[in-house]
């Protein structure tokens, strides 16, 4: 098997919002685009990530107002990302070490190029696996 790079398997569509966008904006973007994560950017560069779980834990459970809370307040503080030319095995090791389900894929200026998810890896590496089936299925509405 030829070694794959992140760019071979990543999802190229990335939903990015500015740091001053509201939590409500993020929730609507996730719903409208059938994704569980938005990249938070400032001046085009990735500043963090907000997931659907973050909305639950950092907003709802903390009783924050989603219309008045900017993404900058709830996004992950440390950006963990990969370059498109990184080997998939390296990205998977990073995901495992950091317990991450998704990684933003960025260029040399940390501008978002895509997202690598566990589902992307499963579809590429084990297309017959249950995770690949779930990842390839249309979203539930």
Query: What are residue 105's DSSP bridge partners?
Result: 82, 114
Beta strands in the chain, from DSSP E residues, in sequence order: 16-18, 37-42, 45-51, 102-106, 112-117
Architecture of domain 6-136: Roll (3.10)
CB-CB neighbours of 107 under 10 Å = 14
Q: Pick 77 or 38 by higher pLDDT.
A: 38
pLDDT digits over 102-112, tens only?
999 999 999 99
Distance, in Å, from the CA atom of 21 to the CA atom of 45, rounded to the nearest integer, reads: 15
Dump the DSSP string for 38-95. EEEEETTEEEEEEEHHHIIIIIITTT--TTT-BHHHHS-SS---B-TTSBHHHHHHHH
Q: Pick 135 or 73 by higher pLDDT.
A: 73
pLDDT band at 123 (very low <50, low <70, confident <90, very high): confident
pLDDT at 85 over 90: yes
Task: Output the pLDDT for position 109.
Answer: 95
Q: Which pair of structure tokens corresponds to residue 22? A: 């509201």
Distance, in Å, from the CA atom of 63 to the CA atom of 97, rounded to the nearest integer, reads: 31
Task: Output the pLDDT for position 18.
Answer: 97
pLDDT at 135 over 90: no
pLDDT at 78 over 80: yes
Task: Output the pLDDT for position 128.
Answer: 60
């Amino acid at each position: 098997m030829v070694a794959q790079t992140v760019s071979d398997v990543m999802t190229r569509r990335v939903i990015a919002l500015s740091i001053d966008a509201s939590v409500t904006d993020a929730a609507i973007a996730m719903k409208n685009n059938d994704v569980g994560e938005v990249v938070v950017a400032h001046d085009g560069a990735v500043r963090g990530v907000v997931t659907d779980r973050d909305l639950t834990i950092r907003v709802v459970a903390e009783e924050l107002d989603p219309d008045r809370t900017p993404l900058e307040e709830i996004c992950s503080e440390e950006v963990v990302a990969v370059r498109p030319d990184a080997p998939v095995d390296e990205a998977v090791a990073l995901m495992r070490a950091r317990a991450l389900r998704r990684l933003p894929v960025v260029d040399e200026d940390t501008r978002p190029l895509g997202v690598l998810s566990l589902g992307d890896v499963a579809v590429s590496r084990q297309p017959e696996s249950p995770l690949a089936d779930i990842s390839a299925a249309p979203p539930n509405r």
